[in-house]
Structure 1
């Protein structure tokens, strides 16, 4: 996962970086003895959840420490504990198979929907209610209810934004309190108390200093 960088530097990095095509973590099954760049991300996620205990640097090699961590996680989640990180394991990690272009197209259908505190349907959305609704209706994926829980429990942190990534902001306290969906070209869509479901620039003078980070599902 992403190491902590100052908000200003991180925001500039994300805004200046081009949108890139990417393969989602979980697009391929990861197995013991494999070497793949995604293994480092898997190790990082498992360490954050308390399963990967190796004290050295993350590695692209899927060795015994990674296998043991995966088995421990699988057992805790009621999965077949075979040490292989496939689709079911990634789903439990909060990393899903998402058609990002369709996700964004679906999200735009609700532009102009009014804001409603605690709102979870097209009669009115709050920020996390809107994101959860879009994922649920477009991909049958149910996300945690609050921006704070989304930030803590799903996906993996990224520093180069891709279409469909979740972008998080700290608007009321030191943690994640607002979430939206990155749509490309330095813009994101979210439900705001001032404009309802609307599109804003990441470089907006309100949003940029409050940017917390991004996660990819």
Structure 2
């Protein structure tokens, strides 16, 4: 009975929110990661209707944020993972995901913006959350928020994508270094202008120069995930 009532309320809300005349969607609450409750359920239901991969549980976690960011990218909205008036309006009028293409330029920009948001997060061996990252946990988390699944470790991530020459690096490429052991033992995200962002054991998530005295000699290659 409770499940039936929940579905009934969700249908009623969707009828009110997603079919309101333009200009009245602003009444919907702003939702972001960490929120819970019935409005999050309504959001998740709508994303599922539009064929985005999200679990309907009423918790606005990383998976829901990734789906929201993917929806925003597909609809030309600033991809911040926050559901405000503009995103509600787009949700109201959007067609199924399969009818639209994806703009990799916007996706790469979103990945860079996402990565920069976590500058200063401390290093944690084995860390995969904003409470603490190691290098591959950071890249996995950032790409995951943008709807791209990466393996857990740097050496496994190194097996993905297309090799890229140093003089052809582009923002969004994964760059790899040999540090505490031979092979790809550290990685980060190239952000342009000869710089990359990564989770380092000494400074946490930070931006560094590819050609610095430390990183330059340890660079071993790059892979392009987005083409």
TM-superposed deviation, 1:140: 1.7
Q: Are residue 166 (structure 1) and residue 174 (structure 2) matched? A: yes
Aligned partner (choices 157, 163, 170) of residue 157 of structure 1: 163
Aligned partner (choices 163, 171, 185) of residue 193 of structure 2: 185
1:211 alignment counterpart = 219
Q: Are residue 148 (structure 1) and residue 161 (structure 2) matched? A: no
**1:113-146 Cα deviation digits (max 9, x unpaired):** 0000000000000000000000111x22220110
Runs of 4+ in 1 over 4 A off after TM superposition: none
Count of matched residue pairs: 119
TM-superposed deviation, 1:102: 1.2
TM-superposed deviation, 1:174: 2.1
2:122 alignment counterpart = 114
1:201 alignment counterpart = 209
State the distance in 2 between where 1:185 and 1:169 align.
18
Alignment of 1:1-217 (within 5 A): 99-137=107-145, 139-152=146-159, 154-159=160-165, 160-217=168-225
Between the two structures, name the one with larger relative contact order (CA 8 Å, sep ≥ 6): 1
Gaps of 5+ in 1: 1-96
Gaps of 5+ in 2: 1-103
Identify the structure with the greater helix proportion: 2
SS of 2:152's equivalent? coil
State the distance in 2 between where 1:174 and 1:114 align.
24
SS of 2:189's equivalent? strand
State the TM-score, normalizing by the size of structure 2: 0.51
SS of 1:132's equivalent? helix
TM-superposed deviation, 1:172: 1.9
SS of 1:199's equivalent? strand
SS of 1:133's equivalent? helix
Which structure has the bigger radius of gyration?
2
